[in-house]
Structure 1
Amino acid sequence: LSADAGRLGARLDAARGGDPTLTARLSRLNDEAELLREALEATRAAVAAAAELDAAAGAAGRAAAEAGFADVREAEEAYRSPAEREGKAELLRRLDDQHAAVTALLADPELIAAAAEPAPDLAAAEAGRDAAEEAHTRLASERDRAAARAARLAELRDELAARIERWRPAAERHRLAERMAALASGTSGDNQWNMSLTSFVLGERLRQVVDAANERLDHMSSGRYLLRHDLRKTAGSRARSGGGLGLKVADAWTGVDRDPATLSGGESFITSLALALGLADVVTAEAGGAEVGTLFVDEGFGTLDEDTLDDVLDILDGLRDGGRAVGIVSHVGELRTRIPVQLKVGKTRRGSTLVS
Structure 2
Amino acid sequence: MRLHRLEITAFGPFGTTQRIDFDALSSAGLFLLHGPTGAGKTSVLDAVCFALYGSVPGVRQTPGASLRSDHAPVGTYTEVLLELTVGDRRLEITRRPAQQRPKKRGAPGFTTEKAQTWLREYDPATGEWAGLSRSHQETGEEITQLLGMSREQFCQVVLLPQGDFARFLRADAEARGKLLGRLFDTRRFAAVEERLAELRRAAQQQVEDGDARLLTLAHRMTQAAGGLAAARTPVEGRPGDPGLADSVLTWAAVARTEAREALDIADVRLTAAEAARDAARAALDAENDLAARQARHADALRRRERLTEQAPERDRLQDALDRGLKADRVAPALGLRRDAEREHAAAHAARERARALLPPDLAEAGAEQLSALEHRLREELGGLDAARRAERRAAAVAEERAVLAREARADEDALRDAADWLAGWEPRRTALAERVEAARDAAARAEHLAGRLEPARRRLAAARRRP
What is the TM-score of this pair, normalised by structure 2?
Answer: 0.19
